[in-house]
Structure 1
Amino acid sequence: MLFYLIAILVIVMDQLSKYLIRANIDINETFSLWGIPLTHIENSGMAGGLFQGYARFFAVVAVLFVIGVLYFRKTEEMKGALIDSSFGFLVGGAIGNGIDRLLFGQVTDFIIRSGGILNLADHAIEIGGLLLIIYGVVSWLKSKAIDSLKNGDQ
């Protein structure tokens, strides 16, 4: 349930924020919200503006990624709140940006950060990736501890 809750929350917040930006801020207009600088741009490529014009291709990649995660979750090899949260952020972000790519042929970005201008879906993907790394490290440490106990090392 946590997976679906996070994914849906990410999609709703991402799409709502992008709608508000598109409806109220001109392209290339910069403004500040609560001290955070924001600039409305439209990106038909991927992160950092790479591969401009390939939005539809990246939409297909996002769909395949979501299908892969849903299939992987069915195998139930990885369980727990941490991995469910990770996958929820990753899938929510992929769907959020995928919607833009399919509907508009580009993604609305507006959050200025070192390294580029991003959106909430991009940040969700980063959070999901970080949680996935943490899950991997924790799982590795647990397996080492279990192996150590099985071998009588203490």
Structure 2
Amino acid sequence: MKRREAKEKHEQSVLHSFEKYLLNKGVTLKIIGHPEPPDALVNIDGKETWVEITDAFLNEELARSISSYPADDVPHIHTKRKLIIDPEQIYEGVVQDVVLAKYNKNAIRNVYKMYAQGILLVGLFSPFVDIEDIEDLVLKIKIIKNGSDNRFGKIYLYDRDRNFHKI
């Protein structure tokens, strides 16, 4: 599978998990399309909106390793062992940067102008994240959301087990 196909499969999987999460809350989600950007146009309980999916990796090396593994059009890039001092603090900054990058992205600004508010799903890809870290991240991202425009009406963090944490 090509790297682009792997990305699309990942996004479909995240959307499917989000759909199950919402269904457990009594909310229905139907995917309308994938215009790129955003990653999906959806209907949630009769209201059309859009979803953008992004991932926060501990570092670029881990991102390249994970994203190259399923792709047959690029070589798999292995991560090297190294000492990481204070990984929770480093990762907190990574997650904040990823969210801010979505707020600063012109393509997403244009999607917001065209469709109004959307939903941001942020994947947490770090071996050092536990529930206490996620609770801290929710508070940090809430500060960013409250200080920014309303392009993301809702933001959710999701962990490796696809548990969604609403901001």
Q: TM-score surpassing 0.5?
A: no
- Higher-helix-fraction structure: 1
- TM-score w.r.t. the length of structure 2 is 0.27
- TM-score w.r.t. the length of structure 1 is 0.29
Greater RCO between the two (CA within 8 Å, min separation 6)? 1
Larger Rg: 1
